[in-house]
Structure 1
């Protein structure tokens, strides 16, 4: 769906279906601000041919997963999960196993 704006439900709600929403922007900083303005944060996707931009933007987008030039980013051996109002913790991969563990630190002066 082209021309999605911040006022539309499609912009701010997680859509669990084969739908791509495209929001126009003028500058990289605006794109990051638009992406981070959402209350949900499962995944974000964007395309670029610039590797430096890919790392810079991916690190600044506030979602649990980021796809750069890829539409399918999940697999059984990688962590799956979001931030903000998009889930609790991770499943899959080493991070998924760690969700079921409790770390205990013990310090003794014997």
Structure 2
């Protein structure tokens, strides 16, 4: 563990060596004791980084998670089945991983809400934006 400006973090370095020198590879990083004033809690970061925040209640953590303009994916871990339904319904995200750090599959819809985009790709939902649905009604009187 290293510290930078009062922020504890684990790893947090660029990977180098034969397999990594031709790209931009970064070690998975945990930011411990993250605070609301940190930029990472208000951005949609695409990288192997997880800011950890402390909370005292389920209601508080849901409010904090939803208090961001993005909504691609969220994740939480629990063994409480009632919490699975309660929290996943309240999270304002296009995808929710419950005890699953990679909730993605080709046959499942992929996409976010808010500033993370509209619509879905993948699954049957992914094709819906490309379809024109037509209702035709005909009455034949013999």
Q: Unpaired runs of 5+ in structure 1?
A: none
**Residue 24 in 1 paired to residue 54 in 2?**
yes
Counterpart Cα distance in 2 of 1:16 and 1:87? 15
**Residue 62 in 1 paired to residue 92 in 2?**
yes
Counterpart Cα distance in 2 of 1:103 and 1:3? 50
Q: Residue by residue, what CA displacement relative to the aligned partner does 1:53-76 show, whole Å, maximum 9, x if unpaired?
A: 011000100000001111001111
Structure 2 counterpart SS, 1:35: helix
Shift of 1:16: 0.6
Q: Quick check: which one's strand share is greater? A: 2
Aligned residues: 110
Larger radius of gyration: 2
Report the equivalent of 2:71. Answer: 41
Aligned runs of 1:1-110 on 2, under 5 Å? 1-107=31-137
Scaled by the length of structure 1, the TM-score of the pair is 0.91
Counterpart Cα distance in 2 of 1:5 and 1:55? 27
Greater than 3 Å deviation, 4+ residue runs: 105-110
Counterpart Cα distance in 1 of 2:74 and 2:103? 10
Q: Quick check: which one's helix share is greater? A: 1
Scaled by the length of structure 2, the TM-score of the pair is 0.72
